[in-house]
Amino acid sequence: RGIEPFHSGSNSAAQEGFVHAAVAAYLADRKALDRSWDAFRTYACDPAAPRRGRIDLGKGVETGWSHDDASPCAVNPKGTTKRVPRGRPGAGRTVRLDGAIINDMRRGGDYQWPPGFTQYPWVGLEGFVPAAVILHRSGYPAFDVADRAVLRTLEYLWYLRVQTGREVWFDGTRADEIVFLVNRAYGVSFPVVDVVRAGRLVGYTDWSHMTWRR
C-alpha cells in the first residue's frame, strides 16, 4: 500500500503523516495536502473531521487509555479525566488524560496511576509536530485545531513529569527538536537543551526555525 497519513493512533502512522504532508507540500499537490489535513484532524480529535471512522485505535482502547471507548480519539480531547479501574495501581483515582496519545501511552502498559513509563509518545510527536508545521505553512490551522491538540500533547507529558516526580517523562533532551518547534509555535517555554540535535525525522530546528513564529 502507499503512505497512509495518520491511519492509526500509533507513532509510525504519525510519522507517515509527516512524510505524506512533506511530499504533498513539495509537489504543491493540493488534493494530497487536503488528504493530509483531514487525516491530521482525525488524529487530533477534531469532531468535524471527515475521516473520523478511518483510524485504528484498537490497542489504545483495549488497554483503557481512551477517553470514550465508543468514540475514541488518537489524542484525548481537552478536559479529559478518567478513573483508574479496579484491580490496577491507583484504582479509584481520577487523573488527567487530556492530551494523551492513547496508542503510544499503552506501550507502557494498561491505564493505571502512575502509568508505566514509555518514550513512544515522543516518537509519535516526531511525526505529529513537523506535520503541523508543514500544514500550517500550507494554509491549514494545524496548531489551533481540536483545542490546540499539538500543545496539549506536550502539556500531558509535562503533567506526568510534575505529578509523578519522574523527569524522564519530559527531560528537555528527548525529541528536543520537537520541543523547540512547539515553544516557537505557541510562545511557551518547555525546557530544551541549549543546542538542538538531529532527530529521527527532523533536526537542528533551533537553526532552521530560529526566528520562526506562526
Q: pTM for the complete prediction? A: 0.93
CB pairs under 8 A, 24+ apart, for 21-27? 21/131, 21/134, 21/135, 21/138, 22/130, 22/131, 22/134, 24/138, 25/134, 25/137, 25/138
By residue count, the chain amounts to 214
Q: Which of 104, 122, 131 lies closest to 20 in space, CA to CA?
A: 131
Rounded Cα distance between 138 and 74, Å, is 23
Neighbours of 22 (CB within 10 A): 17
Rounded Cα distance between 83 and 103, Å, is 18
Backbone angles phi, psi at 203, to 5 degrees: -160, 175
pLDDT tens digit string along 137-147? 999 999 999 99
Cell numbers standing for residue 56: 485504528
pLDDT tens digit string along 12-63? 999 999 999 999 999 999 999 999 999 999 999 999 998 655 799 999 999 9
pLDDT tens digit string along 169-194? 999 888 888 998 999 999 999 988 77
Rounded Cα distance between 72 and 59, Å, is 11
Whether the link from the prior residue into 114 is cis, omega within 30° of 0, is yes
In angstroms, the Cα distances linking 117 to 96, 134, 154 are 16, 30, 15
